[in-house]
Amino acid sequence: MANERPNILWICTDQQRFDTIHALGNPYIRTPNLDRLVSEGVAFTRAYTQNPICTPSRGSFLTGYYPTTVRVNRNGGAYFPPEAARKLITRKLANIGYDCGLAGKLHLSAAHNRVERRPDDGYRVFRWSHHPYPETFWPTEQHDYQRWLRDQGVNWEDAYGTTKLEGWDGGELYSPGIAARYHQTTWCANEAISFITEPHEGPWLMSVNPFDPHPPFDPPPEYLERMDVDSMPLPLFDPRELESQLAFQGIDHQTEVPRPPYEYDARRMIAAYYAQIELIDTQVGRMLDALEESGQRENTIVIFMSDHGEMLGDHGLLFKGCRFYEGAVHVPLIISWPGHFQAGLRSNALVELVDIVPTLLEITGLPIPNDMAGKSLLPILTGQAAPDHHHDFVLSEYRDTLARPYASRGSMIFDGRYKLCVYHGHEVGELYDLQEDPHEFHNLWDDPDKQSIKLDLMKRAFDAFILASDLGPERAERF
């Protein structure tokens, strides 16, 4: 396919769960444009992130390697390693003539108290906005979204929502935010449309990385107002978890004490989260329309995904941390290229986000390194392989990822039925049979009848992580 290199529109949301698309089974949310993308392409319904936190996930899926392999394990890292930067798919595509652009987040290194330090990432156009809010440590001139608001004559303090609702911890959560026309998600789409409709001498790649639906769950007022709060589902919760979750204290999570959904306005929280995704859907529609109107849709691969999920109250937890429930690690992944990829296919194969880079390498005629963890999805996309199998298992890891007190480390392996979660240095762990227990309520870690399954998964995970480890410089001589 190297002679017909396509454009690539790569949309990556932040902290969006797998179960947030109407066409893929969520009756509570309206996503007509994502539904349209599902009908035009392949929806991978069992896609998993390699880390449930931003930077390691992004460093992983942008290179095709596991986070530990590229030594990108933490949020807040001082820099993105130069040897990892050479593996970035955007750098590789820029080297062969792709014009690469970005709007929104990159988050390959620390973006708190500073403007993110860019690696040699291959982007010619770089419109940076880590999170939308104005900060004294982000001068407006270096925060492209805030500069755009200024140019529109919009003052953030005046435009942001004034109705504050008490959230999970008494703070301002699931309150209305800035109007849709001024929202960062809308701005990201504006920048994408400007980039993809400008003249290009060759193929292009556009990364669209909005901050939403990341907390604080503050959608535009007009999107929150149209939500039927009372009809929203409640988080997955078993009252016994108020006690069982206490066994995991000492393992880092942004929720320190589990809370049942009847202690806060859980339905409004979910409505606000869904409203953010409905805004994302609107902007996806605008970008798809721009491709069609500019005559580029037939030669453009569209990827829609998220870097990781959100607990959203499930099991008494909110946000993210060193846990591997489905809400945290199972993410949406849709890939479409009309006339080249199958349309309307739902693949239930186990896939990983690291599979995206080798897929793009194969499509563009670039070699796939032998040590790359990812495996090209092209055979499934083109119908040359059955859609029900890709990996025997998927992996996710957490290595002191958030700046939390316990510097936790954890590993997950999921073989399609059994999920094992090991918290290194702790006796407690998790084993779930998702065939019999899809909501992960019954921890089989100590079940005597499941010990052989637990040990087998431990060995497979141990082997996989060691086989994926970085061996250092290439061998020059025999010894």
pLDDT of amino acid 213: 98
pLDDT of amino acid 199: 95
Kindly report, residue by residue over 240-256, the tens digit of the pLDDT.
999 999 999 999 999 99
CA distances from 251 to 257, 281, 311, 443 (A): 11, 35, 16, 17
Per the DSSP assignment, residues forming a β-bridge with 203 are none
Q: How many CB atoms lie within 10 A of CB 39?
A: 13
Q: Write out the two tokens for 184.
A: 């960062």
CA distance 390 to 375: 8
- Contacts for 277 with CB less than 8 Å, ≥ 6 apart: 13, 16, 20, 29, 31, 212, 213
Contact 228, 31 (CB under 8 A): no
473 backbone φψ class: left, alpha, beta (φ>0; ψ -120 to 50): beta
162 pLDDT higher than 80? no
Structural domains of the chain, with CATH: 2-391 (3.40.720.10)
Helix residue ranges, H only, 169-235: 184-196, 221-225
pLDDT of amino acid 298: 97
Q: How confident is the model at residue 34 (pLDDT cuts 50, 70, 90)?
A: very high
138 pLDDT higher than 80? no
Q: How confident is the model at residue 140 (pLDDT cuts 50, 70, 90)?
A: confident
Q: How confident is the model at residue 54 (pLDDT cuts 50, 70, 90)?
A: very high
Question: Angle 423-428-431 (CA atoms, 0-180°, nearest 5)?
Answer: 85
Kindly report, residue by residue over 324-350, the tens digit of the pLDDT.
999 999 999 999 999 999 999 999 999
Q: How many CB atoms lie within 10 A of CB 293?
A: 11
151 pLDDT higher than 60? yes
pLDDT of amino acid 166: 59
Inter-residue long-range contacts of 367-370, CB under 8 Å, 24+ positions, other chains counted: 368/64, 369/64
Bridge-based pairing of strands 333-336 and 409-414 is: unpaired
Q: How confident is the model at residue 471 (pLDDT cuts 50, 70, 90)?
A: confident
> Quick one: CA dihedral 98, 99, 104, 107, positive or negative?
positive
Residue closest to 183 by CA, chosen among 157, 210, 143: 210
Q: How confident is the model at residue 306 (pLDDT cuts 50, 70, 90)?
A: very high
- Beta strands (DSSP E) in 57-107 are 99-104
Alpha-carbon Rg of the chain, whole angstroms? 21
55 pLDDT higher than 90? yes
CA distance 185 to 213: 9
DSSP state of 407: -
Share of the chain above pLDDT 90, in %: 89
CA distance 151 to 155: 10
Q: How confident is the model at residue 356 (pLDDT cuts 50, 70, 90)?
A: very high
Residue closest to 300 by CA, chosen among 383, 192, 211: 192
Q: How confident is the model at residue 163 (pLDDT cuts 50, 70, 90)?
A: low
Reduce the DSSP state of residue 410 to 3 states and report it.
Answer: strand
Higher pLDDT, 466 or 172: 466
pLDDT of amino acid 3: 56
pLDDT of amino acid 217: 93
CA distance 431 to 419: 6
Kindly report, residue by residue over 421-447, the tens digit of the pLDDT.
999 999 999 999 999 999 999 999 999
CA distance 329 to 322: 11
Contact 399, 73 (CB under 8 A): yes
The chain-wide mean pLDDT, for the chain, equals 95
Bridge-based pairing of strands 7-13 and 300-306 is: parallel
Q: What is the pTM of this model?
A: 0.96
CA distance 169 to 366: 49
